[in-house]
Amino acid sequence: MGTNALLKRIGANGEGWGRSLRVGLSGLFACAWAVSLFVPVVRDTHVAGFRGYVALLAGWLAIFSFQFGWFANPVLGFALVRLVGGRPGARLDMVVALALLLLAFDACFWSRMYGDGRPIAFDQFGPGYVLWLFATCGAGITLLISAAMRWRSERDLGLEM
Contact between 89 and 125 (Cβ < 8 Å):
no
pLDDT > 70? residue 1: no
What tens digit of pLDDT does each residue of 4-54 get?
555 555 554 544 447 788 889 999 999 999 999 898 887 765 666 677 777
pLDDT for the residue numbered 41? 80
Q: How far apart are CA 87 and CA 103, in angstroms?
A: 23
Residues 131-160: what's their mean pLDDT? 82
Helix (H) or strand (E) holding 104: helix 90-107
The number of folded domains in the chain is 1
Q: How far apart are CA 158 and CA 57, in angstroms?
A: 46
| C-alpha Rg value of the chain to the nearest Å | 18
pLDDT for the residue numbered 14? 47
What tens digit of pLDDT does each residue of 66-104 get?
778 788 889 999 999 988 886 677 888 899 999 999 999
Range of the domain at 146: 3-157
Position 141, amino acid: I
